[in-house]
A and B are shown apart, each in its own frame.
Chain A
């Protein structure tokens, strides 16, 4: 490591920004050339019809899906900036004594898909860190319904745990797990809202933004719960800061491994230096972050998933050919820094390719959108639960699920099926263009 570069510890996290009320979310803007490119792609989709004999999944997508790229870490890392911001928003309120002049209820509304990095989700992880009691969602029977009749309001008084105080806030991390969009699936959420309304205990409620849009209409949840709050969108600067923070962290994916630098495959610009060193990106790298922020709608876990899917590594054959060329002509300028000089530690380069474009299956697109809409409202569902909430699956249509999985729109989390975070922006755009009710952040 050269002395003129800042050490990893020099990466200072910026001051946490508090969550803001829903409706004030500012979606990051896209660079102008990307806007034109995106518009052109959509225009082509309008005019170019896929043949009926065309496969459900485009050939190039299959190739890309089997390629897989290179994943620096198996699981998505937790978003530390968000954790700090949630702390800044709630910690003081949670630590204070109950006050009749301070709101008793807090509602945190988040875009879907925040559960992978934090187990039970951002709010559940926050509750665990602060030792707060969590209310588990009602169990399901595995056949697409709730395990037991749940019209009885749950007990929100909680158990006094050792070291815990009676007036500690209760955390209900996932409101979307309290209902199913079936004719008998609204009982638990109604009972819960009734219990929340009756108790005087302080409660933090977490809810997915699509579920919140549904619950406001279906059970008038907004009459019981306060205005939701959500994080501020992650723009290019915040994303690059987070990524540098991730790479520079001792527990990053590169622990015990060679340093990795991330470079754009088209221009060679460095998006992220090894160990997260370097200043804020500029030029093409900054444009990349701006595009990533806009394409991810400012949602950090979506940005991470898109980023991870765009990483490519060189094949062994290419590396070997490069080494042989370097041996034959030592004066030759190596094409990139992937080949380390003998006096430097081995350094790997990961190439950042263009962000993936997601295209819904041309045939039966409305059915596909209904399935994805259901997954966004409920979060991950088992196939039986999904069958109970999406009418076209009741009439068959398992093939459609396979097509969606192959095209990267849905992913399997154990036995459950979820909308893939990287596909979320494309799904949201498709739903909005088709007139589906959408979320409000």
Chain B
């Protein structure tokens, strides 16, 4: 129909044509049943020339359609013949082979590019090693404001690199289909559930820790009896360095069962407390003011943070707590020491007397 000239009158299928056979009743001589061609002798209300052109066009179209259908039938016949030849005498064996192909878990050894896997593993290891060295190095030597950001980027970057590498290698080694995925997932699930339960729990907790951030590298945390600075967040463990310079590795799975106290929670400073125990008979206002000045005049003090001195009566005397923030949490012990040294002098100047509980004697 597209080959008709633009000015040619187009036939309207639904329009009734006088004396023309109904569309439902094609002429017996028509080559294709789908194309109801008008009979040559059927008169039309248009002129004879126009109706002849239309009739010719329709006949040509019907011929072309018939040829195409014949070609399609031949193609199907050939294809079935080929399938029959390839499958041998048994069509069932072909289906079985296709099924085996689908459930085959690992690619053929000759198809696995081991050198590429080696490169991926080595590259990932190198990238992670570089990250673990470079970022803490920059954090320690760069501006103080960037320190925690740089340290916190290490576990996130490592997790991203590991995920990428595992997916990449998996695609090279395994024949990934939905069926295979379900099989592998089931097997891994069983293995993790029984054999590596604790390990898997720590791994999952490690991933949760990366996103929930109960601790980050550079934070000062308390887990159980251990207090120290987080020096690295691994996949399975968090490593902290205590003030006594001990390195403690604790599994992430502790976050399921224990509270984690984070002293700074990503901030650059944390609250420090210096304790003083005084004999009750003193001018508390004066001592309190003196201890407040001790904190306010410390060289380590962060100006923007509050200073507070709290006191409470205890059976053995008056307990003063000087609470203040250093401008850098790495100075916390120097800060507390400074508060203590100068606080002792201030307490004495203010008329206070420090007391100490008698030490328990040696057991006999």
Contacts and interface: CB of A to CB of B under 8 A. Distances in A.
Interface of A: 45-47, 180-186, 213-214, 216-219, 366, 370, 373-374, 389-391, 433-437
Contacts of B345: 183
Contact of A389 (B290, B299, B334, B349): B299
Interface stretch (B18-26, B81-89, B119-127, B141-149): B141-149
B353 interface: no
A185 B297 contact: yes
Secondary structure at the B interface, as helix, strand, loop or mixed, is helix
A213 B303 contact: yes
B141 A46 contact: yes
A374 B299 contact: yes
B304 A182 contact: no
Interface in B325-364: 327-328, 331, 334, 338, 341-343, 345-346, 349
Contact of B268 (A181, A184, A433, A435): A435
Interface residues of B, number: 30
Contact of B144 (A181, A370, A389, A434): A434
Contacts of A47: 141
A389 B299 CA distance: 7
Nearest to B338: A391
B180 interface: no
A219 B303 CA distance: 11
B141 A370 contact: no
Nearest to A436: B327
Contact of B296 (A46, A186, A374): A186
Contacts of B293: 183-186
A437 B299 contact: no
B294 interface: yes
Contacts of A183: 290, 293-294, 297, 342-343, 345-346, 349
A426 to B, nearest CB: 15
Interface in B238-284: 268
Contacts of B341: 391
A180 B338 CA distance: 16
Interface in B1-20: none
A38 B186 CA distance: 59
Query: Interface centre among B299, B301, B349, by most A CB within 10 Å?
Result: B299
A437 B303 contact: yes
Given A181-B297, A435-B145, A435-B327, 16 more contacts: A183-B290, A183-B297, A183-B346, A184-B346, A213-B303, A214-B303, A218-B297, A391-B298, A391-B300, A391-B338, A391-B341, A433-B144, A435-B144, A436-B327, A437-B303, A437-B304
Interface in B105-144: 138, 141-144
A217 B338 contact: no
Nearest to B143: A433
A45 B141 CA distance: 8
Interface string B284-314: 0000001001101111111110000000000
Contacts of A219: 296
B299 A373 contact: yes
What are the 6 closest A-B residue pairs judged by CB atoms, nearest first? A435-B144, A437-B303, A217-B303, A183-B346, A181-B297, A433-B143
A47 B349 CA distance: 48
A150 to B, nearest CB: 14
B349 A184 contact: yes
18 contacts: A46-B138, A183-B297, A183-B343, A217-B304, A373-B299, A374-B299, A389-B299, A390-B299, A391-B298, A391-B299, A391-B341, A433-B143, A433-B144, A434-B328, A435-B328, A436-B327, A437-B304, A437-B327
